């Protein structure tokens, strides 16, 4: 059973890669139009150390942005979840901020912190990903049935006890739902910045250099590497969710 | 006999968008120590508000609430509450749910003793063997039993029940009524039970208070004669029928459908 759960996705990936290879081969596309998986192998072999260094750059900055988003998003969510006034005040601002396409913010931030590549990358990853976290926490807290509060409050429990014992654990499933979205968004943010910044680093920059040098297999190789990192991050969140909010999972009957 | 709960001429309004909404207006309730008082009244008349006042979760605009000779000014941990919604914490096992109040209320019990007490209560309500289950694995009636154990685990003086059996089917409900009697025998408390079920009120309580429609005041008090240990057959006696008839009529008056 366990083996099957691991093998199924691997087989699916292999099938996908063969179909891709076959498609390129049948259509006779040159590799500046569409590289095939077999073109990627030489690209990985040639640049493997770049992939490791740049991949690490992208990974840590995404995670740093995400951690910042978790801290700030949770704080904002708590403020909005506990106070109606703050919710009324902050919600329109946040929605407006979120509605701005981040592609337009990237060059602004890039200029604002020109020369501080790490700062502007982490910042954009944060800006793009804190919104779903803030919203999920605030909704989780504000929709907490009053009886849950009353059970502890009638015993004289403090607000912070109620938060730690009930409100926080109860919002964890929603929080992890939002975190899965945020991971993907943060990743997009990091890459946008890496591509746009002059003298950028990270996988985005590697992609950009592939573009300038017309090294198409390299560009595709970066895409696959990004997909791989994205999958890894996503499943890290899924694993954390299992540990901390596994109780919310209903076994289908 | 001393009165454990005394509510004297309480008035209370909620602030709403369309101005103040008077909910309680001249409410008087006294429950002696060890007594069990049922409160019935039209929907929305202010019964849950009354429970929140007794629990100290709110302060009345006017009038006084006394528990055990002390004026209630805020929550106190000698109160246990259970609601129509059992509000068990899904991330805890049943045992951990029942132990919860002991994590808040100062107690001399060790963790082991706390769990033993929870186990004892769960056994009392017929939930032995379910200690390590999650709430989602239990039926509605079983969850309500667990919720009852949680309300009792810290040995409260006052047990406040706000329509705890309202969402259960008739047979499960009657089962729980009998459980309540068993529990009260072993774990004495002074009870306030909000209910919509007149049969429930005379089966469980020794005093039934009928509230008028909103704003609620004490409209009628029925003393249920002490007939010793009760079983469900008591509900089918002429005496019970007479009491139900009187209460039914009072409810109709409260709803404004019959003249006083
Ligand atoms: N926090 C609140 N703010 C404003 N109005 C409220 C609030 N809580 C209750 N009310 C109103 O006060 C009235 C009494 O409410 P309460 O919950 O005490 O009634 P109830 O007798 O318990 O009703 P039910 O039988 O449906 O449980 C209702 O009309 C309700 O709409
Ligand atoms: Mg109510």
Residue of the CA atom closest to atom 6 of ligand 1: B14
CB contact under 8 A, A145 and B134: no
Q: Supply the DSSP string of A83-114, one letter for each residue.
A: -HHHHHHHHHHHHHHHHS-HHHHHHHHHHHTT
User: What does the pLDDT average to over B231-260?
Assistant: 87
B58 pocket-lining for ligand 1 (C-beta < 6 Å): no
Residue of the CA atom closest to atom 28 of ligand 1: B44
Block residue for tokens 């890894």: A232
Report DSSP state, residue B13: E
B18 pocket-lining for ligand 1 (C-beta < 6 Å): no
CB contact under 8 A, A154 and B57: yes
- Locate B198 and state its tokens: 């007149």
pLDDT band with cut points at 50, 70 and 90 for residue B40? very high
What does the pLDDT look like over A150-169, one tens digit per residue? 999 999 898 889 989 998 89
What does the pLDDT look like over A23-80, one tens digit per residue? 988 988 887 778 888 888 888 888 888 889 989 999 999 999 999 999 999 999 989 9
Distance CA B204, CA B218 (A): 20
Task: Please give the pLDDT value at position A250.
Answer: 65
SS3 at position A166? helix
A158 touching B (Cβ < 8 Å): no
Fold category of A48-246 in CATH = MetI-like fold (1.10.3720)
What does the pLDDT look like over B119-151, one tens digit per residue? 999 999 999 999 999 999 999 999 999 999 999
Choosing from B48, B58, B165, B255 the residue with most ligand 1 atoms within 8 A of its CB, the one to mutate for a pocket test is B48
Q: Give B-chain residues touching A170 at CB under 8 angstroms.
A: 89, 91
CB contact under 8 A, A247 and B90: yes
Task: Please give the pLDDT value at position B228.
Answer: 67
Instruction: Using the mean position of ligand 1's atoms as its centre, give its distance from the Cα of residue A21 in Å.
Output: 67
Q: If you average pLDDT over each of A215-219, B31-35, B222-226, which comes out highest?
A: B31-35
Kindly state the percentage of chain A with pLDDT values over 90.
34
B251 pocket-lining for ligand 1 (C-beta < 6 Å): no
Distance CA A138, CA A82 (A): 8
Task: Please give the pLDDT value at position A1.
Answer: 63
A155 touching B (Cβ < 8 Å): yes
Task: Please give the pLDDT value at position B177.
Answer: 92
What does the pLDDT look like over B209-221, one tens digit per residue? 999 988 888 999 9
A17 touching B (Cβ < 8 Å): no
Q: If you average pLDDT over each of A2-6, B93-97, B163-167, which comes out highest?
A: B93-97
Domains of chain B: which residue ranges? 36-45+76-254
Fold category of B36-45+76-254 in CATH = Rossmann fold (3.40.50)
A176 has a pLDDT exceeding 90: yes
Of the given ranges (A211-220, B150-159, B239-248), which has the lowest mean pLDDT? A211-220
Kindly state the percentage of chain A with pLDDT values over 70.
98
Task: Please give the pLDDT value at position B88.
Answer: 95
A252 has a pLDDT exceeding 60: no
Choosing from B45, B60, B164, B192 the residue with most ligand 1 atoms within 8 A of its CB, the one to mutate for a pocket test is B45
pLDDT band with cut points at 50, 70 and 90 for residue A98? confident
Instruction: Using the mean position of ligand 2's atoms as its centre, give its distance from the Cα of residue A239 in Å.
Output: 41
Nearest to A247 by CA among B97, B115, B112: B97
Sign of CA dihedral A91, A93, A98, A100: positive
Kindly state the percentage of chain B with pLDDT values over 70.
98
A114 has a pLDDT exceeding 80: no
Alpha helices in chain A (DSSP H): 2-27, 37-82, 84-99, 102-112, 117-142, 146-153, 159-162, 168-196, 203-212, 216-245
Rounded to 10 deg, the angle between the B94-104 and A146-153 helix axes is 50
Q: What is the ipTM of this complex?
A: 0.83
B118 has a pLDDT exceeding 60: yes
- Locate B42 and state its tokens: 């039209």
Mutation target for A interface from B15, B90, B133, B134: give the one with most A CBs within 10 A: B90
Sign of CA dihedral B238, B244, B247, B249: negative
Task: Please tell me the distance in Å from B78's CA to the nearest CA on chain A.
Answer: 8
Nearest to B246 by CA among B226, B216, B219: B219
């Amino acid at each position: 059973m366990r083996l099957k759960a691991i093998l199924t996705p691997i087989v699916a990936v292999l099938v996908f890669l063969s179909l891709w290879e076959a498609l390129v081969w049948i259509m006779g596309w040159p590799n500046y139009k569409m590289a095939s998986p077999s073109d990627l192998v030489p690209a990985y072999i040639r640049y493997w150390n770049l992939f490791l260094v740049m991949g690490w750059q992208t990974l840590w900055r995404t995670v740093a942005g995400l951690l910042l988003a978790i801290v700030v998003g949770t704080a904002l969510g708590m403020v909005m979840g506990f106070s109606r006034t703050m919710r009324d005040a902050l919600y329109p601002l946040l929605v407006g901020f979120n509605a701005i396409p981040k592609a337009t913010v990237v060059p602004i931030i890039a200029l604002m912190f020109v020369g501080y590549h790490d700062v502007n990358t982490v910042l954009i990853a944060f800006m793009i990903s804190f919104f779903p976290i803030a919203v999920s926490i605030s909704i989780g807290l504000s929709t907490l049935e009053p009886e849950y509060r009353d059970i502890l409050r009638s015993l004289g429990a403090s607000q912070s006890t109620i938060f730690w014992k009930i409100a926080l654990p109860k919002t964890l499933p929603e929080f992890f739902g939002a975190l899965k979205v945020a991971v993907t968004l943060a990743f997009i943010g990091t890459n946008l910045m890496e591509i746009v910044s002059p003298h950028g680093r990270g996988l985005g920059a590697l992609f950009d250099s592939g573009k300038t040098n017309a090294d198409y297999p390299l560009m595709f190789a970066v895409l696959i590497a990004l997909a791989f990192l994205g999958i890894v991050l996503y499943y890290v969140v899924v694993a954390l969710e299992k540990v901390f909010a596994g109780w919310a999972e209903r076994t289908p009957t | 006999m001393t009165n454990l709960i005394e509510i004297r001429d309480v008035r209370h309004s909620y602030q709403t968008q369309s101005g103040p909404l008077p909910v309680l207006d001249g409410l008087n309730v006294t429950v002696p120590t060890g007594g069990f008082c049922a409160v019935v009244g039209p929907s929305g008349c202010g019964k849950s508000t009354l429970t929140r006042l007794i629990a100290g979760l709110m302060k009345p605009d006017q009038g006084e609430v006394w528990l055990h000779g002390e004026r209630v000014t805020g929550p106190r941990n000698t109160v246990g509450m259970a609601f129509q919604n059992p509000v068990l914490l899904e991330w805890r096992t049943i045992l951990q749910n029942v132990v919860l109040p002991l994590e808040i209320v100062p107690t001399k019990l060790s963790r082991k003793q706390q769990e033993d007490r929870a186990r004892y209560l769960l056994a009392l309500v017929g939930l032995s063997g379910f200690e390590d289950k999650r709430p989602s694995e239990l039926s509605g009636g079983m969850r309500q039993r667990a919720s009852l154990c949680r309300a009792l685990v810290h040995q409260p003086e006052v047990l406040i029940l706000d329509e705890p059996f309202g969402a259960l089917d008739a047979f499960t409900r009657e089962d729980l009524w009998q459980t309540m009697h068993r529990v009260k025998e072993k774990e004495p408390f002074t009870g306030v039970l909000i209910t919509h079920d007149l049969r429930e009120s005379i089966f469980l309580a020794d005093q039934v208070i009928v509230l008028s429609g909103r704003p609620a005041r004490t409209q009628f008090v029925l003393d249920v004669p002490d007939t010793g240990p009760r079983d469900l057959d008591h509900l089918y006696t002429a005496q019970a029928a007479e009491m139900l008839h009187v209460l039914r009529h009072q409810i109709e008056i409260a709803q404004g459908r019959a003249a006083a």
